[in-house]
Amino acid sequence: MVTKSLPKPRTVDEYLDRVPEPARTTLAKVRAALLAASPKDATEGIGYQMPGIRYNGRFVFYYAAFRNHCSLFPASGSVIEQFKEELKNYQVEKGTIRFPPDKAPPATLIRKLMKARLQIAP
C-alpha cells in the first residue's frame, strides 16, 4: 500500500498545524520570542521545509520540530559560539541548538540569539 505524503508546508501556520503536541506549543513560544526580537520589516516564511524569519530578503533564523526534539538554527555558527556558556545545558552542534519538545529555551535567550544574529545579518 502506498501512502500519499502531505504537500510541503507553504506557510508557518501550515507547518505548525502539522506539528503534534507538545512540540506545537513549544514552537509557538519560540516563534513569539523570535518575532519579538525581529525588526518590524522582517517576515516569516518556509525555507528548507522549516519555519524561519527572513530579513533583507534572506533567512536569518529557522526553527523546527523533529521526532524526539525541537531545534533552533541561527544560520550562523558564530552566534552559537558567542552564547556557548548560556547554551551549555542544550545539545549544541555547529549550527543547531536542540531542546526537548516540551520545553522551549527561555524567551530572553531566544531574543538574545536573534539580536546577535541580526548584528551579522547581510
Domain with 32, as residue range(s), is 12-119
CATH of the domain at 30: 3.90.1150.200
Q: How confident is the model over 26-71, as pLDDT tens digits?
A: 999 999 999 999 999 999 999 999 999 999 999 999 999 999 999 9
- Tell me the C-alpha to C-alpha distance, in Å, between residue 85 and each of 88, 90, 94, 109, 112: 5, 10, 15, 11, 13
Kindly report whether the global pTM for this prediction surpasses the value 0.75.
yes
Residue 35 counted as domain residue: yes
Tell me the pLDDT tens digit for each residue of 87-103. 999 999 889 999 999 99
Q: What is the pLDDT of residue 14?
A: 95
Q: Is residue 98 part of a domain?
A: yes
In angstroms, the Cα distances linking 110 to 31, 82, 114, 115 are 9, 13, 6, 9
Find where cell 525581529 sits.
38
Q: What is the pLDDT of residue 76?
A: 87
CA distance 88 to 80: 10
On whether residue 76 sits in a domain, the answer given is yes
Residue 31 domain flag? yes
How many domains is the chain partitioned into structurally? 1
